[in-house]
A and B are shown apart, each in its own frame.
Chain A
């Protein structure tokens, strides 16, 4: 589900470009790359021209423009002629983040998103406020401070064990 083109079907050149884009950090969560975040959806190479399809995490994500500019810059610096398209389908989901990406978020101090369940898709469901583990001390004695954090993709929590506020990557 990570990407439309399975990794083993990539040409060596496509694989090289995936690696290049994998060096671009998410401007708001620099611990992970834009490829790990899952916003780069496909890469198609035709000679020097490269078609890159990207998808926003949230419709109004202000970082998308910065990500596009970085993709443009990196590809031009490497001698390519990039064309960037914004696609909406399939809609971005935190399910695309791998275990290793989730580990990087935790090490950076952000609680990784939980697995997507029925409750996340139904606004009046109750069970969505399941305990969230503190990324600093692993305690589950935490409370939700706000459903919206410093960026659209995060919520605010506080930990009663280590008394630290922390952010959680929201599950969508």
Chain B
């Protein structure tokens, strides 16, 4: 594959891995939600993300042209080959952690996919425009829970505060870019994440203000490198469950 082609393949896999890993995490709630409606809501968000990842993997596999399929990309790569941000692989924790994680991811993904919906790559812009509508709902849902928990009881406020404290160290990493991004930004295909940082800060501060939450002043840990395959220990465990069936039974058909 020539440079741009190779870069676009990697770019799509990175986007797809974010969506798939968060989808898998959200769907771990299926049957365990705090109330029936929320159980359905979390699984629905997972389903949207799963659909987005499928479209992106399918496109990546086409770009690669090596005969791999969406399933090969999802189920036959190890954790060092997954290129998602470390935020999305973090364990669900309690409901507050899950909603905070969903809010932090979807708020930036909303801005990113809004830009990608104007990409010069027709297929990517089509997938992004579709995903954008879904992400709008995810931001709305998760932000309202962050506000409700933050401006709720003493216990809910404490739990969502801890969630923010624990997850904030993963947010810098969301903006990391490399040569892949630079090649594609130049070509009008990808978007510059740095350019979205101030708008994203405004968005999260608006929500945290209503939630009576303040940004952590001390962050003990800052993740980096998920998009290059450097992960926290949680991803491997998650993949071993997610990939078990197609690896144990390679001939299994859905």
Contacts and interface: CB of A to CB of B under 8 A. Distances in A.
A60 B133 CA distance: 13
A128 interface: yes
A128 B133 CA distance: 14
Interface of B: 37-38, 40-41, 44-45, 47-52, 54-55, 107, 110, 122-123, 125-127, 129-137, 139-141, 143, 203, 206-207
Given A59-B52, A88-B55, A148 B44 contact: yes
Which 3 A-B residue pairs are closest in the complex by CB-CB distance? A60-B51, A59-B51, A88-B126
A15 interface: no
Given A89-B125, A123-B143, A156 B37 contact: yes
Contact of B141 (A88, A93, A148, A172): A148
Contact of A147 (B41, B54, B132): B41
B33 to A, nearest CB: 10
A58 B51 contact: yes
A104 interface: no
A118 to B, nearest CB: 12
A148 B55 contact: no
Contact of A60 (B54, B110, B139, B143): B54
A120 B130 contact: no
B134 A58 contact: yes
A85 B104 CA distance: 34
A90 interface: yes
A91 B37 contact: no
A58 B48 contact: yes
20 contacts: A58-B48, A58-B51, A59-B48, A59-B54, A60-B48, A60-B50, A87-B126, A88-B127, A89-B122, A91-B130, A91-B133, A123-B137, A123-B140, A124-B207, A148-B141, A150-B40, A152-B47, A170-B137, A172-B134, A172-B136
Interface residues of A, number: 29
For B38, B51, B130, B141, the residue with the greatest tally of chain A CB atoms inside 10 Å of its CB is B130
Nearest to B49: A60
A81 B110 CA distance: 40
Given A123-B143, A149-B40, A150-B40, 20 more contacts: A58-B51, A59-B51, A59-B52, A59-B54, A59-B127, A60-B47, A60-B49, A60-B52, A88-B123, A88-B129, A89-B122, A89-B126, A93-B133, A123-B107, A124-B206, A146-B37, A148-B41, A148-B141, A172-B134, A172-B137
